[in-house]
Structure 1
């Protein structure tokens, strides 16, 4: 990744943690600089951003070390997503709620316009971007 792309992914990660940027703003900025997807890993407390050619950049995303639930609840993950879409909680609250729902991380597929949330046993839940089918 070039310097501008690295600055953008770091800016977006920080903006998510502080609440300065919304998910649509983050996706827009990342898409504009050539990022096609990213992986938020709750266990490692980091996000890996990927370019189309596979080049990547890892950014530390310190968040509370809450306990991840053992049972994956797609309904609880979906509820946390809906709260985010309505602006009812912060990104850190979103992390806490999805961890409690058994989520260990997620992939944002910017080009595919969806997010795949997954649990420790391979369970998953897919959320499409609001304007996508």
Structure 2
């Protein structure tokens, strides 16, 4: 990994957290940087990006202070996802909505075109990327 890649990822992460980018824009930029997957960890307040070379880059990111419930509300998570897909919800609100729905983080598999959302009790919701 070179310093430029880390610098770009930090820039993209901050733009996303500020609500300046749509999910498709984020994915396009990450693919261009050689990222094949990433994990947003709400409790650790970080996002870790994984390159196809098996390198990982962890970017600390301040998350909203929300007490994440023990119960996983799959419908709430899905509503937040669909809001983001339709650009009615940007990332700051997406974080709040998914956290309130009991989500502790998620893994995006860019090359697999899906994301896995996790609850405190091991629940997993898999969301496939919409067909283009």
Q: TM-score, normalised by structure 1?
A: 0.93
Distance 1:72 1:119 in 2: 5
Q: Is the aligned partner of 1:6 residue 2:6?
A: yes
Q: Is the aligned partner of 1:78 residue 2:78?
A: yes
Segments ≥4 residues shifted beyond 6 Å: none
Give the corresponding residue for 1:105.
105
Q: TM-score, normalised by structure 2?
A: 0.94
Q: How does 1:9-20 map to 2 (within 5 A)?
A: 9-20=9-20
* 8 Å Cα contact 2:21-2:90 kept in structure 1: no
Number of matched pairs: 132
Distance 2:33 2:16 in 1: 17
Give the corresponding residue for 1:115.
115
Gaps of 5+ in 2: none
Q: How does 1:1-133 map to 2 (within 5 A)?
A: 1-131=1-131
Distance 2:68 2:12 in 1: 24
Distance 1:11 1:131 in 2: 28
Distance 1:88 1:26 in 2: 16
Gaps of 5+ in 1: none
RMSD over equivalenced CA pairs, Å: 1.2
Distance 2:88 2:35 in 1: 27
